[in-house]
Amino acid sequence: MASGPYTGPLTVLKVTHHGSNTSSTPLFLSRFPPKIAVIQCGADNPYGHPTPETLDRLHRTGTKIFRNDEHGDVIVTIKDQKVDVAVTKPEAAF
């Protein structure tokens, strides 16, 4: 993908490897800044995922971050150029 012809913003990025330090590198995010990022990680996991570095990189691109350890299930619907995000723990969403 990084060597292909497409560069530009992504609508949704499913952050790889639970948001580990090696996921969503600065180079990748500079070529494909996401509007929304979804991170699947367990609450209080022993690995510290997502890492502060990954969260910082995403925040610096202006990405709205949804994590299932904080927001519950994250459901993204795209229809007619409109993006909706629903979560099962809405009190934590904003």
Q: Tens digit of pLDDT for each residue in 10-65?
A: 999 999 999 998 888 998 999 899 999 999 998 888 888 999 999 999 999 999 99
Domain coordinates of the chain in residue numbers?
Answer: 10-92
Share of the chain residues as helix, strand and coil, in percent rounded to the nearest 5:
30, 30, 45
Q: Whose structure tokens read 């600065």?
A: 26
* DSSP state letter for 19: G
Q: CA-CA distance, 70 to 12, in Å (whole number)?
A: 18
Alpha-carbon 84 to chain mean position? 15
pLDDT above 90 for 9: no
Predicted confidence at residue 55, as pLDDT, reads 96
